[in-house]
Structure 1
């Protein structure tokens, strides 16, 4: 019997719209791709989410990925408001599941800077029952330790949880931890998948 829903944030409860964010700064397709390779598509972005390094140290890693973009990276990442997109369904969906008696937790790779500067697009967070944000616990998915931590912190039985994430690698890691899990595509698909686990 499922008692706890565990959800990723980016592209599940709020859109991670880095492409639109870079495009809105007036960059060409080619520049958007270069910026993405230096930042969101690089291993350094995972360190951004892990929260161990300072924002200056992370920015230096982005610059090291493409030194020609130094000025653009400084300018573009000075404030990242707009890199997340508010999903209107998030709060009603969380409230609906909680009203049916389910505990609702988040488990997400998230940087302190995005959390701080995109707070208005993350307005569902006060409605959840807790969870883990990577920048606070210095662990990132798909590290096995982050799944162990959420299970122990909230005294959860893995077989009584279902986890949804838009990245297969993270879903597979949850399954290895004994947690029921599926790849999130959209809200309607997720509701259907939750039903297969007995969540109405």
Structure 2
């Protein structure tokens, strides 16, 4: 997609996990498994990203957990730890990204929204943990809406709810799959790698000085 210039943007949409919030199951499971190999095998084959995304899409934590326990009873304790000790997967805010968010907020030039794949059962914990989430003009949570990125209807839901014109919006996400889906909806996007790269991209687009 051809990049637009600053005066054509009035809305910036952020992903949360791995962009503004440092969430990673490995922070918990390194405490549980003796080796990285054991941990990686568990997270790649049992508590997989695809399984977790079903909870992000609205399946209850209990249903998701009990389904896996029934399938892998030998791993019951480790499976139950995923949501039982979920807060241990949070390492805190990504400070340099939050600084950029603050600068955008204080500029007063843009509406700020978040579009996040997140369980509706765990998201309230994030609201308590991360006060900067209150800076957004709106947050669309997949678990609440029972749909998730990269579904086109999930992006459209945010556009419709907040009367956002896709041609005036910029979307930021660490997952290239989600970035491509946003671009298919006509939303210019940045594939987030790290805060300095994001800052450079925002400067290039004349959004930040």
* TM-score (normalizing by structure 1): 0.89
Give the conservation status (yes or no) of the 8 Å contact 1:105–1:130. Answer: yes
The residue number in structure 2 matching 1:194 is: 202
CA shift at 1:147, angstroms?
0.8
Residues 1:107 and 2:123 aligned together:
no
Residues 1:78 and 2:77 aligned together:
no
State how many pairs are aligned: 198
Residues 1:185 and 2:193 aligned together:
yes
Match of 1:157 among 150, 165, 177: 165
Supply the distance in 1 between the matched residues of 2:149 and 2:143 (Cα, whole angstroms): 11
CA shift at 1:107, angstroms?
0.6
Q: Which runs of 5+ in 2 are unaligned?
A: 1-7
Residues 1:97 and 2:104 aligned together:
yes
SS of aligned partner of 1:112:
coil
Supply the distance in 2 between the matched residues of 1:40 and 1:159 (Cα, whole angstroms): 35
RMSD over aligned Cα atoms: 1.9
* TM-score (normalizing by structure 2): 0.86
Match of 2:156 among 148, 160, 167: 148
Q: 1:75/1:184 Cα in 2 relative to 1: closer, same or farther (>3 Å)?
A: closer
Match of 2:69 among 63, 66, 78: 63
Larger deviation, residues 117-126 vs 81-90: 117-126
SS of aligned partner of 2:87:
coil
